[in-house]
Structure 1
Amino acid sequence: MRLHSLHYALLPLLAALVLSACHDKDDPSQPGGSTPEAAVQSSVELLKAGDFNALWKHALPPADYATLRSDWAKHQQSQPPVTDQDRARFNDAMQQLTGPDAENKIYAELQPKLAAMESKYKDQIPVLISVGEALAKNAVVQSKSLSPEQKTQANAALDVLGPWAQQAPWFNPTKAKQTVNIAVTTARKLDLKSADQLHAMDFDTTMSKYSIGYVGLKQLLVNYGLSVDDTLDSVKVTPIDSSNGHARVKIDYTLLGKPLSSESKLIQVDNRWYSEDMVNNVREAHKQLSEPASAAPIPASTSSSAAVPATSGSSAPAPVVAHISSAPTKD
Structure 2
Amino acid sequence: MPTRRTPAARVRRHLVWPLLACLGLAACQQPAGERVPDVPAEAATRPVDAVYLLRDRLLARDGAGFARLAVPPDLHAQLGQAWREGRSRWPLDELPLDAHLPAMLAALQAPNAETALMASFNRQFAHADRDIDQAVRTLVVFGEEYVARDPSLGPDERAQTLQAIEALGRWAIQAPLDDPARAHRFFTALTAAARRTGLDGQAGWPALAALGMTQSLNRLSPFFATLLAQLRQQYGLDLDATLRGLDVRLVEQTGDQARLHLHYLLAGTPVDAELRAVRLDGHWYLADYVERAQRSLAGPAQ
Using the size of structure 2 for normalisation, the TM-score is 0.72
Kindly indicate whether residue 299 of structure 2 is the aligned counterpart of residue 289 of structure 1: yes
Deviation of 1:199 (Å): 2.8
Higher relative contact order (CA 8 A, sep 6+): 2
SS of the equivalent of 1:181 reads: helix
Report what 2:221 is aligned to: 211
CA contact (8 A) 1:240 1:249 kept: yes
What does residue range 63-212 of structure 1 map to in structure 2 within 5 Å? 63-75=74-86, 90=106, 93-97=109-113, 106=115, 110=118, 114=122, 117-119=125-127, 121-193=128-200, 195-196=202-203, 199-201=206-208, 202-212=212-222
* 1:48–1:232 CA contact under 8 A, matched in 2: yes
> Which amino acid counterpart does residue 110 of structure 1 have in structure 2?
M
Give distance in 2, aligned partners of 1:215 and 1:36. 28
Query: Per the alignment, in what secondary structure is the counterpart of residue 165 of structure 1?
Result: helix
Question: How far apart, CA to CA, are the structure 2 residues paired with 1:42 and 1:160?
Answer: 25
Corresponding residue for residue 47 of structure 1: 58
1:32 is matched with 43
Structure 1: segments with no counterpart, 5+ residues: 1-25, 78-85, 98-102, 291-328
Q: Given the alignment of the two structures, is residue 250 of structure 1 paired with residue 261 of structure 2, yes or no?
A: yes
Tell me by how many angstroms 1:193 deviates: 4.8
Distance in 1 (CA, whole Å) between partners of 2:177 and 2:189 is: 15
- CA, structure 1 residues 199+92, in 2 after alignment: closer, same or farther (shift >3 Å)? same
C-alpha RMSD of matched pairs (Å): 3.1
Q: Is the 8 A contact 2:70 2:289 kept in 1?
A: yes
Counting aligned pairs with the same residue, the percent is 23
**How has the CA–CA distance of structure 1 residues 140 and 116 changed in structure 2, closer, same or farther, with 3 Å as cutoff?**
closer
- SS of aligned partner of 1:240: strand
Query: How far has the Cα of 1:178 moved from its partner?
Result: 1.9
Structure 2, gaps ≥5 residues long: 1-36, 89-101
CA shift for structure 1 position 212: 2.0
Structure 1 residues 243 and 46: CA distance shift in structure 2, 3 A: same
The alignment status of 1:220 with 2:227, answered yes or no, reads no
Distance 1:263 1:122 in 2: 36
Report the residue type matching 1:247 in the other structure.
A
Counterpart CA distance in 1 for 2:214 and 2:231 is 26
Matches of 1:176 and 1:162, distance apart in 2: 19
Number of aligned residue pairs: 249
Q: How far apart are residue 198 of structure 1 and its match? A: 6.0
Counterparts of 2:244 and 2:188, CA distance in 1: 26
The equivalent of 2:285 in structure 1 is 274
Q: Give the greater-gyration-radius structure (CA).
A: 1
Q: Identify the range of structure 1 (176-185 vs 245-254) with the bigger mean alpha-carbon deviation.
A: 176-185
Q: TM-score w.r.t. structure 1 length?
A: 0.66
